[in-house]
Amino acid sequence: MADIRENDIESRDEDGSASVSRLAWISSGVGLLLFLGSVGVLGYEGITRGSGPPAITAVVEEVVPAGPRWLAHIRVTNDGGKTGAKVQVEGQLMAGDEALETSVAEFDYVPAGSEQKGGLFFDRDPRAHDLRLRVLGYVEP
């Protein structure tokens, strides 16, 4: 066994080139690619993403029945430069200037440049009323 291996090495040394195995080249090549890739993406993101405060907006995606109640699927988007934590979103069913019902959802994190989903439950059908969404506030993580 040892003899065979030694012969192997000798023949490879005679070739003079590619003494490092192909697998080693592949794995280190992949490593280099991932290394440069992740540093590149992070660096690019750091440069292009502003450093301004979170700019968080909420929209209603759809309203579906949920048992005897109603569920409004909501989506919050952060177009600002920083992540907002503990983001509270309040939904109010309005009849004129009067709020019939208020529900609140809190998102642990809304990362900069991304969106999160959630839902608000109501006793009345939100489609029959004016559903007003407000992003109440956030804290810095």
Partner 1 sequence: MDITRQRSFLHDEAQFARALARASAGAIIFALPLLMTMEMWELGFYMDRFRLALFILVTLPVLFGLSYFAGFEETFCWQDDLIDALSAFAVGFLMSAALLTVFAIVRLDQPLPEIIGKIALQSVPASIGAMLARKQLGQQDDSDKERRIRSSYPGELFLMGAGALFVGFNVAPTEEMILISYKMSPWHAVALAVLSLGLLHVFVYTVGFAGQESAGDDGFLSVFLRFSVAGYGIALLISLYLLWTFERIAGLSMMELVTATVVLGFPSALGAATARLIV
Binding site for partner 1 (CB under 8 A): 2, 5-6, 8-9, 12-13, 19-25, 27-32, 34-35, 37-39, 41-43, 45-46, 49, 82-83, 85, 109, 111-114, 141
| 118/74 Cα distance (integer angstroms) | 5
Q: In the bound complex, what is the minimum distance in angstroms from residue 18's beta carbon to partner 1?
A: 9
Whole-number minimum distance, CB 137 to partner 1, in Å?
A: 17
Contact 84, 95 (CB under 8 A): no
Residue number with CB closer to partner 1 (32 or 128): 32
- Using CB atoms within 10 A of its CB, is residue 138 exposed (0-12), middle (13-18) or buried (19+)? buried
